[in-house]
Structure 1
């Protein structure tokens, strides 16, 4: 839905930050995200070219977690796109003030959309796995990534966080009890850049081809198993056990030498992180399916831990 003229005024000022000769033709709200406000802009450049961009304004929860989240995401996107990885190119970062109270980020508009009904599920799963491998095999030792948080530190914070109303139907107490036994937690794999929220909703497709991985605000440095586990559970949620097994097989086959010993712990971490889906306003039938799959995921991980 297009914004009203008065709502679009700040965006008119914002596009002129890119070029004083820019003219805002259209502004519209983009639905789908829960952690940030997303707005699409159509701009007439001084050359006569019409381009589209995205404005991301992070929510209060993200800003509390990291007041520099917009600046950090800008720096990371700049690194990723310069190295040819599938991510939106960043154009502008504003800390906030005259135009907006909160920081905002202007990034590339990428044609495409998430795909939840792929015509070829096998090829779709392969593309998800191969793209995650490409992210994780990106050589970043020569780069300054000190602005990214450590995934192990976030692991400890989440496990230690006191939850007042835990949903025991999702085994939240049991998961925390198991994960507490692993602290301090040490990685058995080389640190990589983690997307932090790798799931089908953050992956855009155009004509069945993966076009871009979006929403990098949860990026971190750490064990690649963290992203793998998150992807496993999300694929299980949306496509079932066979698709999850295929994703796992494809990923592991392209990551020789990966130590999988801690995968069950990262699976429990992912299950704890993604235990808020009852608050997402899903249809009851969909929520029930996700509950059942969440439970099987948790119990399988705990069973593997018990045998080790």
Structure 2
């Protein structure tokens, strides 16, 4: 058995195996096991993370995500401890196993239930601090050599990637094309490249009643401008309707910024954050289109994926609101 061999242990008894909710890109399985013998002896609560039947093109494989988790842990980021990277032939798909952390990641609950996440000022600061620790990882990290680094600026790379997608897509999206032109004309300086999570938002971190317990879902991480993550986190599309709390629907920008700046020891160029929020809405629209196509193609029948495609007009409307008169 894989866990017994990896632990290593004399015996492993599986008490529970259940599919966890969420995970629109990957599948997560909760495993509760009793480990007999070896350094992990006792109750072991882990998550097996594996590929979904279909995927979004930009998503990393499980071996790459495992390496990203290890690098983040070494940088002091609050993440589930990655334990063992598995072989595809064991379950028919690539996978890895990480420790299971406590709490909830449900964004729609977190923005409404004040019992979750602890003090909201402190939570916003914690989230800023964790993001700054992620951004402390540079392209010099040899363990992340598999991440490609463009010689163009991050802004240019993202615009070109979006343009290539829209050029090849069968359905026209004139608002997204308009957005691309606006992004080209209003691009701020963008030369710094650090490790960006690229999906740092409410819904991708865990909280309990005391506060933050871990940052999840690293399958889109890559080298980019740190403002990409900041704009993504603050974008209206990730506030789950709690628009008064502009930092992820859970706090205020100034608290989130303060936590970030305290760890990063540098000031956020706040005058450029709106630009990156526009970019966030564009990128989320492109992902939503791909999510819907996973359902329509028949590769993975899912009501959740099908409904994701219906948010594209809402994202286009917000793009027009953000760019009006600018």
TM range (shorter): 0.7 to 0.9
- Pairwise CA distance, 1:95: 4.1
Separation in 2, partners of 1:267, 1:95: 39
Separation in 2, partners of 1:237, 1:140: 29
Deviates further, 199-208 or 121-130: 121-130
Aligned to 1:8: none
Separation in 1, partners of 2:62, 2:29: 15
Instruction: State the TM-score, normalizing by the size of structure 2.
Output: 0.73
**Aligned to 2:97, what secondary structure does the other structure show?**
strand
Q: Structure 2: state its 5+ residue gaps.
A: 293-302
Aligned to 1:197: 199
Aligned to 1:146: 145
Separation in 1, partners of 2:318, 2:128: 19
Residues 92-107 of structure 1: matches in 2 within 5 Å? 92-97=84-89, 99-107=90-98
Separation in 1, partners of 2:163, 2:54: 18
Tell whether 2:38 aligns with 1:79. no
**Aligned to 2:320, what secondary structure does the other structure show?**
helix
Aligned to 1:125: 124
Separation in 2, partners of 1:166, 1:33: 29
How many equivalent pairs are there? Answer: 281
Tell whether 2:225 aligns with 1:223. yes
Deviates further, 227-236 or 76-85: 227-236
**Pairwise CA RMSD:** 3.3
CA contact (8 A) 2:28 2:47 kept: yes
What CA deviation, in whole Å up to 9, does each residue of 1:181-209 have, x standing for no partner?
579x9624x32221111111111012131
- Pairwise CA distance, 1:233: 1.7
CA contact (8 A) 2:31 2:46 kept: yes
**Aligned to 2:36, what secondary structure does the other structure show?**
coil
Tell whether 2:271 aligns with 1:250. no
CA contact (8 A) 1:199 1:231 kept: yes
Aligned to 2:42: 49
Higher RCO, 1 vs 2 (CA within 8 Å, ≥6 residues apart): 2
Q: Structure 1: state its 5+ residue gaps.
A: 1-12
What CA deviation, in whole Å up to 9, does each residue of 1:204-229 have, x standing for no partner?
01213101001111111111111111
- Pairwise CA distance, 1:124: 3.6
Separation in 2, partners of 1:33, 1:134: 24
Separation in 1, partners of 2:121, 2:317: 23
Tell whether 2:278 aligns with 1:268. yes
**Aligned to 1:45, what secondary structure does the other structure show?**
strand
- Pairwise CA distance, 1:281: 4.5
Separation in 2, partners of 1:155, 1:107: 34
Q: 1:235 to 1:37 in 2, by over 3 A?
A: same
Aligned to 1:299: 320
Aligned to 1:6: none
Aligned to 1:16: 4
- Pairwise CA distance, 1:35: 0.3
CA contact (8 A) 2:85 2:95 kept: yes
Q: 1:295 to 1:64 in 2, by over 3 A?
A: closer
Separation in 2, partners of 1:65, 1:84: 26
Tell whether 2:175 aligns with 1:159. no
Deviates further, 113-122 or 294-303: 294-303
Q: 1:79 to 1:266 in 2, by over 3 A?
A: same
Q: 1:223 to 1:265 in 2, by over 3 A?
A: same
Aligned to 2:27: 37
CA contact (8 A) 1:54 1:108 kept: yes
